[in-house]
Amino acid sequence: MSSAPVPEPDEATLRADLEASGQGHLVLALDRLEPQRRSALRAQLAALDLARVAEMAALLLRAPEAHGAEDFEPAEIFPLERDTIQAARARSARERGLAALARGEVAWLLVAGGQASRLGIDAPKGTFPVGPVTGRTLFEWFARKLLSARERSGAAIPWYLMTSEANDAATRAFFAANGHFGIDPHDVVFFRQGMLPALDPRGRVLLAAPERVFWAPDGHGGVLAALAGSGALADARRRGVRTFSYFQVDNPLARPADPLFLGLHLEARAQMSSKVVAKRDAHEKVGVIGRVSGRLACIEYSDLPPRLREARDPGGRLLFDAGNVAMHALDLGFVEELTRGGLKLPWHLARKQVEALDEEGRPGTRTAFKFETFVFDALGLAERSVTLEVRRSEEFSPVKNASGEDSPATTRADLCRLHSAWAEAAGLPLPAAGPDGVRPVEVDPFLAEDLESFLARTPREARGTERGHLYA
Query: What pLDDT does residue 464 have?
Result: 78
Q: What are phi and psi of 117, to 5 degrees?
A: -60, -35
Kindly report, residue by residue over 416-466, the tens digit of the pLDDT.
999 999 999 999 999 999 999 999 999 999 999 899 999 998 787 778 776
In CATH, the number for domain 69-399 is 3.90.550.10
Q: What is the pLDDT of residue 4?
A: 46
d(CA 38, CA 42) in angstroms, rounded, equals: 6
Domain boundaries of the chain, sorted by first residue: 11-48, 69-399, 401-472
Confidence at residue 465, expressed as pLDDT on a 0 to 100 scale: 75
The predicted-structure confidence for 225-284, as pLDDT tens digits, reads as follows 999 999 999 999 999 999 999 999 999 999 999 999 999 999 999 999 999 999 999 999
Residue type, 187: D
Kindly give the parts of the chain with pLDDT less than 70: 1-9, 63-66, 69, 466-467
pLDDT of residue 66: 66
pLDDT (0 to 100) of residue 466: 67
411 exposure class (CB count in 10 Å sphere: 0-12, 13-18, 19+): buried
At 10 the pLDDT is 79
Burial class (CB in 10 A: 0-12, 13-18, 19+), 128: buried
User: Do 29 and 208 form a contact (C-beta atoms < 8 A)?
Assistant: no
Q: For position 146, what pLDDT does the model report? A: 98
**Alpha-carbon span 377 to 209, nearest angstrom:** 33
pTM: 0.93
- In sequence order, which residues have a C-beta less than 8 Å from that of residue 102 and are 6 or more positions away? 153, 154, 155
Backbone phi, then psi, for 291, in 5-degree steps?
-120, 140
Taking every pair of Cα atoms in the chain, the longest distance, rounded to a whole number of angstroms, is: 76
Q: How many helices (H) and strands (E) does the chain have?
A: 15, 19
CB 371 within 8 A of CB 218: yes
Q: Residue 107 and residue 185: Cα distance in Å, rounded?
A: 15
Contact indicator for 141, 445 with CB cutoff of 8 Å: yes
Strands 215-217 and 195-197: antiparallel
